[in-house]
Structure 1
Amino acid sequence: MKEAQWQWQEPGTAWKGVCTYHVTLTVPSRQPLLGTLVIPQNDPSQARVERTALGNAVIDELYVMCKHYPAIRIYQFCLMPDHLHAIIRVTKVMDASIRSVIRGYWQGVKKLGRAYTLAVSTEASTSAFPSELSTSAVPPESSTLAFPSELSTSAVPPEFNSGTTPQRKTTAEESGWAFPIFTERPFIRPLSRCGQLHTMMHYVRMNPQRLATKRLMPGFFRVQKGIVIGGCSFDCVGNVALLHAESYDVVHVRSAWVKAAEHGDTQTLRDYMNSRVLKARKGVLMVSPFISPQEKQVMQVLISELHPFILLADNGFRDYYKPSDALFDACAAGRVLILSPWPYDASKRHISRADCVNQNNMAEEFCNAMNDIH
C-alpha cells in the first residue's frame, strides 16, 4: 500500500480533535478467518456471522483500545468473515492522534494473527487465550476467546492482546512458525458530512445481509468481462438479460433545461423527466450514467416503481465489488445492469466534465446500437 493511502484526512484537519470515523480492517487474502456466515432458511434478512476465536479476539482488541483511550467510544461494529467495520467516536481532544491510535490497534491485531497461525501450525490440543485478556467492557458474546479444539495457543505470550510492544520476539517468531495475517494497515475515513454517519451505520449494519444476498444470487453480482455491444467492450455487474429488451431510451438532462428551471421556467425540465418515467412504465428500458441530480431523481423513481434500467459507470469494478444501498436491492432483484468500458482505477475519485460528456454520448450510442439490433 502506498504511503499516500495512509493519509486519511485532508491537510489542515486536526488528527486529535473530536470526530467520528469509519475504520475497516481486512484480511488481505480474503480467507474467512474471522467468522462464518450463517443464512437461516436461506433468508438474507436473518443472516449473521458466527465468530471464530480470532474474530472474537479482534473485537476484544477494540475494547482494549477504548480502555487505553477513554475519549474513544465505539458507536457500531460488524465483524465479517474476512474483515471488520467499526464506527468510532473521538469525544474530546486527545494527546495522541487518531492515526497513531489506530496504528496501535493494528499492531495488536497483527500479533493476534501471528498467534492464530502459530496455533494452526502446531495442531496441538485445546487451549484458551489467558483469561486476564478479557475486559469488563467486552460484551458477553465477544468475551470467549478459546480457539477451536484442534488448535493451541500455549506459546502465545500473555501481552499479545494488550496493544503494547513486546519486549522480545515470541517463540513462534523465533522459530519461523507464525506468519502475518493482517498485513495491510486499517483504512479510516472521517464521517464529517451531513447524513454521512447515518448512511455509514446503515451500511455497516446491512453487511451480513448483503453478503448473504450475493452468495444466494451470485450471477447478479459476479463481474462479467468482455461483453461487446456496438463495437465497444464492457465489463458488467447485474442482469445481462436486460440486453434483450425490445427498446431502449436514454436519460440525459440538458444543462440548458436546468438553468431555465433555476430562472423559473421549469416546464421543459419537468416534462422531460416525466417522459422518462412514462416510457419506463410502457416497457422501454432506460439507459444513463445518471450523473446530474435530476437524472438521479429519475433513477430513484425507476427503483421505487421497480422498473429495470441500465447504468453506465464511470469506473470499472474492483475485486469484491457490490452496488450500494437501493441499487444493491434492485441488482439482487435482477432489475439493474451496470456497465463500464473502463478497467477499475483505484486513484479515480471525481468525474470531470469531459467524462460526463463522454458517458452521455456513450449512452446515446448504446441505445442507438441496441435499438438497431432489435
Structure 2
Amino acid sequence: METSSYRPRNAGHDYYGRGTYLITLVVSGREQLLSHFVSDIGHKAEDGRKAPATLALTPLGEAVQEAWQQTPARSQAHGNKVVMHACVCMPDHFHGVIEVLEPMQWSLGDIIQAFKATCTSSWQQQQGLPPSTNRPVSADCFSEYAPAWLREKAALHTDEGSLIRSMSKKQRQEYYTLVGRQQRPLFDDNYDDTVCLDERHRQAMIAYVHDNPRRALLRRLLPDFMRRCLHVQIGGRSYGAFGNLFLLRWPRKVQIMCHRKHLVTHQPYEETADFARERSRWEAAIMEGATVIVTPGISRGEQLMKNECIERGYPLIHLQATPIGQYWKPEKKRFEACASGALLILAPWELDTMGAVGNVPSDTDYSRFHNLNTLAAEICAFNGEAKIKR
C-alpha cells in the first residue's frame, strides 16, 4: 500500500488538551473516490457572474462528510467534547478543522482513528463487503497463499481489527497485497495535523478549507504557473520548485540583499536613505520590463521588497529554507502570485551542507541567511536551461 508523506508533526504537543487543528487525510493510493469537479472557475451562474469551483460528492464522499459531522456526538459518548468548524472532500484527500473544547481521555489521534475506521466501514459497506472488523480472519489468513507469519498471527487473533493492529507496517503492506485493495483502509495510515496558533490562524484554517476546490482547479488550469518540481537543476545545484519556471529564463535578474543594520550608522537598514535609493532603483528596473527580482526575503528590507512584488504582481523568484516536498503548497498570497505567473519559489535541497559562514555552523539561521543570498546571486548569474529531474 502506498503511504502518504503526511505525518502528525508536533511531537511535543499535548494532543489530549484543548486546541484547534487542521486535519488532512489522504485516500490510499491517491484514488479519486470522494468527489469530482462539476464546474470550473470560468463557469458562469444564471446571473452571469462567475461561479466558484464546485465539487460533487460521491456516495462515499457523502458518507465521509456525514461521519465528520457526527464525530462530536460519537466523541461525546466517550466523554470527549469537540466541535467541527469546516470540512471538504477533495477527490483524493480530505481536509477538516476540529476544535477540542476540554481536556480529553482520548487523544486527538484516537478521535481521528475512529473517524477513519468509520469511513473505511462505510466504503466497504458500499462495496457490499463486510466491515474489516467483522471479517473472518480465516477468509485469507489460512489460504495456501498466506505466508507463515500471517498464519501464526491469525491463530492468536480472532477478528480482523486486532489482527491488523498486531502487524508491523511492512506486514500490513504484505497483507493488503494478499487480500486486495477492497479490504484496505480507505485512508493512508498517517495524517497531517496543523496546530492552530490563535484566532486569526483559526479563521485562516477555515478559509483554506473552503478555498481548497478553487486552489485545486487553479493548479489544473494553469499548469505552467502552478508547477511543482521536486528536483530542478540550476547551475549544478538541486532545488525543489513551485510556480512559474519560465522566470528563470528572463534576461535580467536583480538580487535584493539587505543587511539588518546599516554597516556605518547601525540603523535598521530599511529606515536609511541608502535603502530608499536602492528601492527606487529596483522599482525602476522592474518598470523597465524584462526584470525579475530574486531574494530570500529574510531581512526586513528584503521582506519589504518581496511583499511589494507579491502585492503588485511584480516578477519574483523567492528562495526559502523550507523544503518543497511532494504535497507542499504555498500560503494564500504566494499561491495567488503563482497563479498570476509572477512568482517562482525555490528551496535548495542541500542548504545546510553549503558550509559555515564566519565560523558559524551552516545549519544556523545566520549561515542560512548568507547562503540563501549566495544562491540568489548564483541564480541572477544563471543563463542556462534549468533541468527538471523526473
Could you say whether these structures have the same fold, taking a TM-score greater than 0.5 normalized by the shorter chain as the test?
yes
Aligned-pair Cα RMSD in Å: 3.5
Equivalent-residue separation in structure 2 for 1:344 and 1:29 (angstroms): 31
**Deviation (angstroms), 1:202:** 1.9
Q: Which residue of 2 aligns with 1:169?
A: 135
Q: Which residue of 1 aligns with 2:12?
A: 10
Which sits farther off after the overlay, 307-316 or 362-371?
A: 362-371
Q: Which residue of 1 aligns with 2:220?
A: 215
Task: Write out per-residue CA displacement over residues 26-67 of structure 1, whole angstroms, 9 at most, x where no aligned residue.
Answer: 113111111102234744962121111111111111123211
Contact 2:259 2:269 in 1 (8 A): no
> TM-score scaled to structure 1, two decimals?
0.73
> Would you say how many aligned residue pairs link Structure 1 and Structure 2?
320
Equivalent-residue separation in structure 2 for 1:226 and 1:190 (angstroms): 29
Q: Which residue of 1 aligns with 2:249?
A: 244
Taking a change above 3 Å as real, the CA distance of residues 272 and 351 of structure 1, as seen in their structure-2 partners, is farther
**Deviation (angstroms), 1:361:** 0.8
Task: Write out per-residue CA displacement over residues 281-331 of structure 1, whole angstroms, 9 at most, x where no aligned residue.
Answer: 333321112223432221221122221111223354322443321211221
Taking a change above 3 Å as real, the CA distance of residues 50 and 344 of structure 1, as seen in their structure-2 partners, is farther
Q: Which residue of 2 aligns with 1:142?
A: none
The reply on whether 1:27 has 2:27 as its aligned counterpart is yes
Task: Write out per-residue CA displacement over residues 322-355 of structure 1, whole angstroms, 9 at most, x where no aligned residue.
Answer: 332121122122112223442799xxxx973322
Equivalent-residue separation in structure 1 for 2:95 and 2:334 (angstroms): 21
Equivalent-residue separation in structure 1 for 2:371 and 2:33 (angstroms): 43
The reply on whether 1:277 has 2:243 as its aligned counterpart is no
Taking a change above 3 Å as real, the CA distance of residues 280 and 170 of structure 1, as seen in their structure-2 partners, is farther
Q: Which residue of 1 aligns with 2:176?
A: none
Q: Which runs of 5+ in 2 are unaligned?
A: 44-49, 142-178, 353-362, 385-390
Taking a change above 3 Å as real, the CA distance of residues 237 and 23 of structure 1, as seen in their structure-2 partners, is closer
The residue type equivalent to 1:279 in the other structure is A
> TM-score scaled to structure 2, two decimals?
0.70
Counterpart selection for 1:307 from 310, 314, 320: 314
**Deviation (angstroms), 1:214:** 0.9
Q: 1:21-170 maps to which residues of 2 (within 5 A)?
A: 21-40=21-40, 42-43=42-43, 46-70=52-76, 71-116=81-126, 119=127, 153=128, 155-156=129-130, 166=133, 168-169=134-135
What's the % identity of the aligned pairs? 24
Task: Write out per-residue CA displacement over residues 148-204 of structure 1, whole angstroms, 9 at most, x where no aligned residue.
Answer: xxxxx3x446xx8xxxxx4x4269966946321323233223202462212222221
Q: Which residue of 1 aligns with 2:149?
A: none
Which sits farther off after the overlay, 60-69 or 186-195?
A: 186-195
SS in 2 for 1:257: coil
Q: Which residue of 1 aligns with 2:355?
A: none
Taking a change above 3 Å as real, the CA distance of residues 172 and 239 of structure 1, as seen in their structure-2 partners, is farther
SS in 1 for 2:23: strand
Contact 1:277 1:301 in 2 (8 A): no
**Deviation (angstroms), 1:7:** 5.9
Q: Which residue of 2 aligns with 1:179?
A: 183
Equivalent-residue separation in structure 2 for 1:58 and 1:98 (angstroms): 18
Q: Which residue of 1 aligns with 2:379?
A: 366
The residue type equivalent to 1:79 in the other structure is C
Taking a change above 3 Å as real, the CA distance of residues 88 and 343 of structure 1, as seen in their structure-2 partners, is same
Contact 2:25 2:192 in 1 (8 A): yes
Q: Which residue of 1 aligns with 2:194?
A: 189
Equivalent-residue separation in structure 2 for 1:279 and 1:319 (angstroms): 35
Counterpart selection for 2:205 from 186, 190, 200: 200
Which sits farther off after the overlay, 65-74 or 269-278?
A: 269-278
